[in-house]
Amino acid sequence: MARARASAAMRIDHAQVDGRRIRFGVRPGDPSRLPLLLLNGLGANIELMQPFVDALPACTIVMFDVPGVGGSPTPSSPYRVGSVARLAERLLDQLGIGNADVLGVSWGGVIAQEFALRNPVRCRRLVLAATATGALMVPGHPAALVKMITPRRYLDREHSRRVAGEIYGGDFRRDDKLHEHTMRHIRFESRSGYYMQLAAAFGWTSVPWLWMLRQPTLIMAGEDDPIVPPVNAQIMAWLIPDSRVAMLDCGHLFLITRPDASGRHVDDFLREPRAREGAQSGRRRQPSRTTKP
């Protein structure tokens, strides 16, 4: 059964953060719970994650468009992973948010790992969805990766419809209507912004230091993910001391296509009592598997 949906709307605004104009959104939630910082994927703007945001009605959610994506202007010079993690830190500062839980999806999972490393206390718990360890990972299917090199799927609706299943896998292989439902949320900024985002993580890897993360970590993966094969989730779980894996019977965008199932995994993880967290620190947990939404 789906959990009750939130009635609060996402409030969109702009802020000057480290000299950059950043478009951000805040969905208010229960003030007694830690806010959740949600870091989006390659070329993805705030609105794309709305189905998943609606499936997490309890906690306050903070999101932002990275430079060159959505409503955040394209910068004049390139940036790196650490720069985006610092932007996230500064944005939370401006919003008066201290500690937070952090969720990163796909490219945003790279930023989430960096944020967790830089903020061992401020980041209480970490959720990594459809992501991997960067340059040192098991690569995705070549046909899917080639189509990710350019932003054509965001600019050409017909092309996007034809290749959606090949790129994202899962429900996109079976549901023709899913493509249009997803694409209507896209707000593309610029080609150069897309390439800057792609280049930001070039050569980056978390393999040498994932063992240093002490946050309890939920690693989520789609069984049919052409971009990030699910074996990467198992590798990350092996490297992160206090981690577990949740496998979903879907593809790369399971947070969008299976928001209720994804939301249950995340909400249950974030609600776990601290006593249990301490009792199980440093221990591996058995993977869980979701086969139905």
The pair of three-digit structure tokens given for residue 56, joined into one six-digit string: 């997490």
For the stretch 76-84, contacts whose Cβ atoms lie closer than 8 Å and that sit 24 or more positions apart, written own/partner, are 78/196, 78/199, 78/200, 79/196, 79/200, 80/200, 80/204, 81/110, 81/111, 81/114, 81/200, 81/201, 81/204, 82/114, 82/118, 83/18, 83/200, 84/111, 84/114, 84/200
Tell me if residue 199 falls in helix, strand or coil: helix
H or E element that contains 84: helix 81-94
The dihedral over CA atoms of 250, 252, 257, 258, expressed in degrees to the nearest 10, equals: 60
Token pair listed for 41: 């994927």
The pairing of beta strand 123-129 with beta strand 20-27? unpaired
Candidate list 32, 76, 77, 106, residue with the active-site label: 106
- Residue 192 annotated in active site: no
Cα separation, 26 vs 138, whole angstroms: 34
Q: Which helix (H) or strand (E) holds 144?
A: helix 142-148
| 248: Cα separation from own chain's centroid | 15
Question: How many whole angstroms separate alpha carbon 255 and alpha carbon 221?
Answer: 10
Helices (H) and strands (E) in the chain, counts: 12, 9
On the 0-12 / 13-18 / 19+ scale of CB atoms within 10 A, 149 is exposed
Is residue 242 within 8 Å of residue 280, measured between CB atoms? yes
- Tell me the catalytic residues: 106
